[in-house]
């Protein structure tokens, strides 16, 4: 191993991964994913789909999850910077409803492993960002769920500058709070 460093956080299952970067005057090289290294680090999942999005500053995507076809995700930023967030939705989890967030950027090259049954979202902090993620199940458009990005019961501390204009999709403006979701 040695090609990645894996850190855990206060929410079991979430893992911050930092790859080893080999750089010289030409630039750099790094392995962004190697099944055996991830398996040895306790992430044996098999990924079946890769996705990539591009967004401008102020775009807030999320908080999304798949209902009947949950996905583990491995997320990273290849250009720019985002504040990435995962919220624990696992029934019976001692950290149910708690969130974890960190800055992912092309500079720090960190990745976040997000297990199944977490809601996920991110806020673009740079002028432009490209975000990629690997998933363990295919996307099913009729299976998407979501939670309001500013749910007071969760209390995510988004790093929103005073002059930042937030940009949302129509559906991301309409998601319920976690409490409303539980009442359904």
The full DSSP string for 37-68 is: HHHHTT------EEEEEEEETTBEEEEEEESS
**Residue-level pLDDT at 182:** 80
**Residue-level pLDDT at 2:** 63
Number of domains in the chain: 1
**Residues of the chain whose pLDDT is less than 70?**
1-2, 184
Residue 180 is encoded by which pair of tokens? 């409303």
Residue with tokens 């010289």: 24
Torsion (CA) 119, 124, 128, 133 in degrees, nearest 10: -20
CATH number, position 26: 2.60.120.10
**Residue-level pLDDT at 184:** 66
**Residue-level pLDDT at 183:** 74
What residues act catalytically? 64, 133
pTM of the model: 0.95
CA distance 103 to 64: 18
Largest CA distance in the chain: 57
What is the DSSP secondary-structure string of 67-111?
A: SSS---EEEEEEESEEEEEEEE--TT-TTTT-EEEEEEETTT--E
Structure confidence by residue, pLDDT tens digits, 45-71: 999 999 999 999 999 999 999 999 999
Its domain, for residue 142, covers 4-183
Beta bridge partners of 134: 50, 74
Torsion (CA) 156, 127, 103, 119 in degrees, nearest 10: 50
């Amino acid at each position: 191993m040695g090609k990645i460093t894996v850190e855990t956080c206060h929410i079991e299952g979430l893992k911050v991964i930092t790859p080893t970067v080999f750089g010289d005057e030409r630039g750099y090289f790094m392995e962004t994913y190697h099944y055996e290294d991830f398996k040895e680090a306790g992430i044996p999942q098999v990924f079946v789909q890769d996705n990539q999005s591009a967004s401008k500053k102020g775009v807030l995507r999320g908080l999304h999850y798949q209902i009947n076809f949950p996905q583990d995700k491995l997320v990273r930023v290849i250009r720019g910077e985002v504040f990435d967030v995962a919220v624990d939705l696992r029934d019976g989890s001692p950290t149910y409803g708690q969130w974890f967030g960190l800055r992912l950027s092309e500079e720090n090259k960190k990745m976040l492993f997000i297990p199944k049954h977490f809601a996920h979202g991110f806020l673009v902090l740079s002028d432009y960002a490209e975000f990629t993620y690997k998933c363990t199940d295919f996307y099913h458009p009729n299976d998407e769920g979501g939670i309001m990005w500013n749910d007071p019961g969760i209390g995510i501390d988004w790093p929103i500058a005073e002059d930042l204009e937030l940009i949302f999709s129509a559906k991301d403006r309409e998601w319920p709070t976690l409490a409303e979701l539980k009442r359904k």
